[in-house]
Amino acid sequence: MMEDLKPEAAYFHAVDGDRGGFLVVNMQDSSQIADIAERLFFGLNAKIELVPVMTADDLRKGLSGVQATIQRYG
């Protein structure tokens, strides 16, 4: 699974007696979340928590349309 996901970083630990870990995976599109999650569900019977993050460039791009949202809903 690690070979398929090719995480940029992987950290493993124990939580309340269970095995746990953090995988940092670069996605080109948020639709990839479904495939990644299903691999973990079916492959490992895992419980997962997703924490999407973005680069500074992605944030700038995302914030470029915020003024219109503020004017409409603010």
pLDDT digits (tens, 9 = 90+) for 20-73: 999 999 998 889 999 999 999 998 888 899 898 888 998 999 898 898 888 899
User: What's the CA dihedral at 37, 43, 47, 52 to 10 degrees?
Assistant: -30
- pTM, two decimal places: 0.69
Residue 12, domain extent: 2-73
pLDDT value, residue 13: 95
Count of domains for the chain = 1
DSSP 13: E
Amino acid identity of residue 33, one-letter, is: I
Residue 15 predicted with pLDDT over 90: no
Q: Any idea how long the chain is?
A: 74
pLDDT value, residue 45: 87
How far are the Cα atoms of 17, 30, 67, 73 from residue 70, in angstroms, in the given order?
Answer: 45, 24, 5, 5
Which secondary-structure segment (H or E) carries 5? helix 2-5
